[in-house]
Amino acid sequence: MKKWILKALAGILVLYAAAGFFGVPYVIKNIVPEKVFDATQGGIFSVQKASFNPFTFRLKIQNLAFKTPKNSDFVHVKTFVINVNPVDYAWKQGWVVSDIRIENPVVTIHKDAQGEMNFGWLSKLGEDTNDSNESSQPLALLIHQFTLRGGMVHYIDQSDGKNYRQSIDSIGFHLENIDLRDASNSKGVMRVYASINEGGFVDLRGKIAGLKPFALNGSVAFDSGKLYTPWRYLKEKLPIEVADGTASFGFNYALSTEDINATVLSNVHMELNRLRILRKAEQTKLLNLQSVTIADGTVWPMRKVFESPRVK
């Protein structure tokens, strides 16, 4: 009897392992694309390689791609990894995600000659209204760590005879310790950063003090790089031209939806250097500014108040 029970348990374990190691990757590579195609009315989803460990609950997907119905590039992810610990659900009363990692995601945004965006077909999805009056319950979810790194966005605009291309790369996002079970007592931290062409960057950091009410404090730093590069997108529509110059700014912030009027931006600083603006037709100078600096400023945006002891 005991041997029969052991053999039965061993057989169940083998079936479970086979379903996890082989069944889950098969479903992701062969079944999910069909479901995505139907759900998105033609979106093309593909995965080059998938692996799943049913004992550690670690899923890894490589070269995930989601293309438009016209088979043009939209989203590509080199590596996606998620680690879930289902055992913790019993004693933490929530799903525990120890790690989510997205590496080298690339998003392509394309506006064609007719002015249509390559993601336009998605806006037509999900138009059915939900008449349910039942209030939704918060998701019992804990995320220890969420990381996105090496991201890139390509923007292409070919409307109105343009052939404008701009890329933002080195995009990163990091989030820690988000507990949706107790939204009033979240202690998460986050960071968003990216590099812009011609030496620019954006770096946003924050500490999530609560989700209900939402409370966040942190800092923002931005550098435009050469202003002429992004100006190329607007120059056809305006009679002026930004010929040179750089801009940068930064500040600390604190906000809470409990009292939005108390939102404050502190240590506000901004620098403009070597800004030249020309009248396009005559190529004559409208503005030739060597430098402008604002430092140690404070802004109460909801009260429309700005103070700075140093402007030069």
Q: Per mean pLDDT, which range of 64-73, 83-92, 271-280 is the poorest?
A: 83-92
Between CA 257 and CA 255 the distance in angstroms is 7
Q: Over the chain, what is the mean pLDDT?
A: 85
DSSP state of 228: H
Summarised one tens digit per residue, pLDDT across range 281-307 is 666 777 788 888 999 999 999 888 998
Range 120-139 average pLDDT? 64
Rounded to whole angstroms, what are the CA distances from 24 to 45, 52, 75?
Answer: 16, 7, 22
Residue 218 reports pLDDT greater than 80: yes
Between CA 255 and CA 216 the distance in angstroms is 6
**What percent of the chain stands above pLDDT 90?**
43
Identify which of 61, 56, 32 has the alpha carbon closest to the alpha carbon of residue 44.
32
Summarised one tens digit per residue, pLDDT across range 152-184 is 999 999 988 888 888 888 899 998 887 776 655
Summarised one tens digit per residue, pLDDT across range 3-22 is 778 778 888 888 989 998 99
Summarised one tens digit per residue, pLDDT across range 251-266 is 999 999 889 989 999 9
Residue 134 reports pLDDT greater than 90: no
Tokens for 312? 């030069």
Tokens for 238? 């305006």
Range 203-220 average pLDDT? 87
Summarised one tens digit per residue, pLDDT across range 223-254 is 988 777 666 666 666 777 787 788 899 999 99
pLDDT of residue 185: 54
Range 208-218 average pLDDT? 83
Greater model confidence, 232 or 98 = 98
